A and B are shown apart, each in its own frame.
Chain A
Amino acid sequence: MRVGLAIHLLRRSFGTMLGLALVAMIVALALAGPFIVPYPDDVQGAVNLTNKLQPPSAAHWFGTDEVGNDILTRVIIGARLSLLVGIAIPLAAALIGVPLGILAGTAGGGLREAIMRVTDLFLSVPGLVLAIALVAALGPGIGNAMIALILVWWPGYVRLAESKALAIREEPFIEAARAAGATQLRILWRHVLPNSLSPLIVKMSMDIGQAILAIASLGFLGLGAKPPTPEWGAMISIARGYLPDWWWYAICPGALIYASVLGFNLLGDGLRDMLDPRSNRG
C-alpha cells in the first residue's frame, strides 16, 4: 500500500520524474563510464594536437579540447568523480551533524547551547567563502577541497536534526517510552532518530546537487581537482579562455553540472512530497 502510494505520487509529478531520470542518467554514466567512453586514452590527458578544438562531429560528439582530447569521454569520466564527491560530502556532513543535532535537541541545557553556538558560528559565514579559505590553508587538491566542504557542511545537519529532535522529544510516545523505563540512548536510537529521518533524507538528496556544484566551483577556481583530471569545474576553468569561439568546450561540462544539480534538487523535492506524513497517512 505504502509503496504503491509512493509510486503514484512519484508518477503524478513531472518534476520528480525528470529529476529521477537525470539522476539515473548521471549514475549510469558514472557506473558505466570506463566501458562506454569512445576514447579511453583521453581520460588522463593524452596529447593529440592534430585534433585540437574540433567542433562536435560524428567522431567527437561534443568536440575536442585544446590538446585534442574527446570532450564526451572526459565529461563521462568526470561524472564518476562528481557523483562520488557529491555523495561523500553530504554523507560525511550528516554523520557529523546528525548525532550532534539530536544530542543538542534532546539533552538541552549547557551542552545544547555549546553545540548550537558553534553551529551558528559556522552558519554565519557563507559556506563557499569559508571553504575557499580552508582550502587555501590546507593547500589545493580534490581531497582537501572535500575536507573543506565537509567542514562547512555539517552545521546545516545539526540545525535540522536539532529542530526535529526538539519537536519529537515533546511527543507523548517519548513519554510512554520513558514511563516504560527506556534509557536515554534507547529513546534516541529507537524513537527520535527514525522519526527525524525523512527531512534528513530530503536534505541529503538536495545537498548532493549542491555539493557537486560546490566542488565544481572550487575546481573552477583552481582549488579543487587539477587538470588533467577530468573534473567538470576544472574543465570549465580552462574552457573559459576559449569562449565564445570554442563554445562547446565550456557548454558540455556545464550542461552536465546543470543536469545533475537540477536532477538531485527535483528528486529531493519529490522525496519531500513522498515522505510527508500528511501524504502517506491518507
Chain B
Amino acid sequence: MSAPLLLAQGLTKTYALKRNRVVTAVADVDLALAPGAALGLVGESGCGKSTLARLLLRLTPSSAGRITFGGTDITHLPERTLRPLRRRMQIIHQNPSAALDPRLSAGASVAEPLIIQGLARGAALRDRVAALLAEVGLTSEFLNRFPHELSGGQKQRVCIARALATEPELLVLDEPTSALDVSVQAQILEFLETLRATRGLAWVFISHNLAVVRLLCEEVAVMYLGRIVEQGPANTVLGAPLHPYTRALLASVPRLGQIAAAAPGEPPNPAAPPSGCAFHPRCPLAEPRCRTNAPPLRIAATGHAVACHLVPGTAPAAL
C-alpha cells in the first residue's frame, strides 16, 4: 500500500454522562486509506459510523488515538493550522435540506468554501461557482435559487458542488442518499461514482445499504457498537462474511418473496455495553467465552480482519 492519505490509530470517542457514566461511541478504531481508495463503513444505526466520520475530519475532538492526514498528525492540531488542510477533506451530509443554510442561495453556498480558503474572488469566484454547479449538472439559473426552491436531489447536488469546490482529496459521505427518493438515489450514486473516477478522490462511504457499498467501495469495514468487527476487501467481506454480525446484516437484506431474517434482538445500549464480545447477546453461535472475553481483530485465513472467537485467526491484525 502506498503512503496512506488518512490513517487512524486507536481512535476512540467517549462521551461523559451524568454520575460519572461514560458512553463509548467509537472504540479503538484503526483505519488506513490510500489516496484514491474507497472504504465503505457499514453497521446499524447508532453503531458509531457517523461519529467516526466526524472524528476522521476533526469535526469532533477524539478522546484517544491518533489521526494522520497526508502525513501530518492532525489529532491535536489547532484549528488555525488545520484550516489549510480542511481544504483537502470534505464531508457530504445525510440530509441535504439541513446541510444547506436556508438563508444562502445555491451559488452563495458553493462560494463559501472558496471564500473561506481564499481560493477565488470577484469574477473568478463567480466563474468557479458556475463551473462547479455545471459539473454537478445544475445550470447557472440555479445560482440564485434558495434551498427551499430546490428538490432533494438538487440540494444534494449543491452540497456535492460545495464539497468539491476546494478540490479535496478525501470525501467523507455520511449516508449521502438515504434522505432521497429511490429514483434520485440511483442518479446521485451513479454521479458520485463517475466523480470519484474522474477526480481520483479517496472516500469513506457510510451506508447501511450493503449492495451500494459493495458497488462503490473496494474495501469495507463493518462496525458494531463503536468497534470494527470485520474489515477487508468488499467482495470477501460481503461475499464470504466470517463474523456472525456481518452474516446477520447480509441476511437482513430483504429479497423478493422471502421474509428477511433480521439479526435477533435490538442493538445494545452503548451506555451499558454487554460484557465480552458486544455482539454475544444476539449471536446465534455465542459460547461461554464470548460473554467474558472481547475478541481482538485478527487476520483470518481469507486474509481479512475479523473480531470473533469462533473464526480461527492466524495473526493479530495490523495495518
Residue positions of A touching B, CB distance < 8 A: 171-173, 175-182, 186, 190-191, 194-195, 277, 280-281
For residue A170, which residue of chain B has the nearest CB? B98
**Contact (A171, B117) CB under 8 Å given A176-B91, A182-B112, A281-B148:** no
The interface residues of chain A lying within 8 Å CB-to-CB of B102 are 195, 277
Residue positions of B touching A, CB distance < 8 A: 54, 57, 59, 82-84, 86-87, 89-91, 93-95, 98-103, 112-113, 116-117, 148, 159, 162, 166
**In the complex, are the beta carbons of A182 and B116 less than 8 A apart?**
yes
Q: Other than A177-B112, A179-B57, give 14 A-B pairs with Cβ distance below 8 A.
A: A173-B101, A176-B93, A177-B101, A179-B91, A180-B90, A180-B162, A181-B82, A181-B86, A181-B87, A182-B116, A194-B101, A195-B103, A277-B102, A281-B148
Complex: A260 Cα to B96 Cα, angstroms: 44
**In the complex, are the beta carbons of A186 and B91 less than 8 A apart?**
no
Within the complex, what minimum Cβ distance (angstroms) separates A157 from chain B?
Answer: 20
The interface residues of chain A lying within 8 Å CB-to-CB of B117 are 180-181
Complex: A176 Cα to B83 Cα, angstroms: 13
Q: Give the contacting residue for A181; candidates B83, B98, B100; CB below 8 A.
A: B83
Complex A-B: 21 CB contacts under 8 Å: A171-B98, A172-B99, A173-B98, A173-B99, A175-B91, A175-B99, A176-B91, A176-B93, A179-B57, A179-B91, A180-B112, A180-B116, A181-B82, A181-B83, A181-B84, A182-B112, A186-B116, A190-B101, A191-B103, A195-B102, A277-B148
The interface residues of chain B lying within 8 Å CB-to-CB of A180 are 86, 90, 112-113, 116-117, 162, 166
Name the residue among B57, B87, B112, B113 with the largest chain A CB count within 10 angstroms: B112
The interface residues of chain A lying within 8 Å CB-to-CB of B91 are 175-176, 179
The interface residues of chain B lying within 8 Å CB-to-CB of A172 are 93-95, 98-99
For residue B103, which residue of chain A has the nearest CB? A194
**In the complex, are the beta carbons of B59 and A178 less than 8 A apart?**
yes
For residue A179, which residue of chain B has the nearest CB? B91
Across the A-B interface, give the 4 residue pairs with the lowest CB-CB distance, nearest first. A180-B113, A181-B86, A181-B83, A172-B99
Within the complex, what minimum Cβ distance (angstroms) separates B199 from chain A?
Answer: 18
The interface residues of chain B lying within 8 Å CB-to-CB of A181 are 82-84, 86-87, 113, 116-117
Complex: A180 Cα to B116 Cα, angstroms: 7
For residue B101, which residue of chain A has the nearest CB? A173
Complex: A280 Cα to B93 Cα, angstroms: 24
Complex: A191 Cα to B100 Cα, angstroms: 10
For residue B113, which residue of chain A has the nearest CB? A180
**In the complex, are the beta carbons of B90 and A179 less than 8 A apart?**
yes
**Contact (A175, B59) CB under 8 Å given A180-B116, A281-B148:** yes
For residue A191, which residue of chain B has the nearest CB? B101
Within the complex, what minimum Cβ distance (angstroms) separates A174 from chain B?
Answer: 8
The interface residues of chain A lying within 8 Å CB-to-CB of B113 are 180-181
**In the complex, are the beta carbons of A176 and B148 less than 8 A apart?**
no
Within the complex, what minimum Cβ distance (angstroms) separates B296 from chain A?
Answer: 33
The interface residues of chain B lying within 8 Å CB-to-CB of A186 are 116
**In the complex, are the beta carbons of A280 and B100 less than 8 A apart?**
no
The interface residues of chain B lying within 8 Å CB-to-CB of A280 are 148
Complex: A210 Cα to B297 Cα, angstroms: 66
Complex: A280 Cα to B83 Cα, angstroms: 36
Complex: A64 Cα to B132 Cα, angstroms: 72
Complex: A56 Cα to B249 Cα, angstroms: 86
Within the complex, what minimum Cβ distance (angstroms) separates A2 from chain B?
Answer: 9
The interface residues of chain A lying within 8 Å CB-to-CB of B90 are 179-180
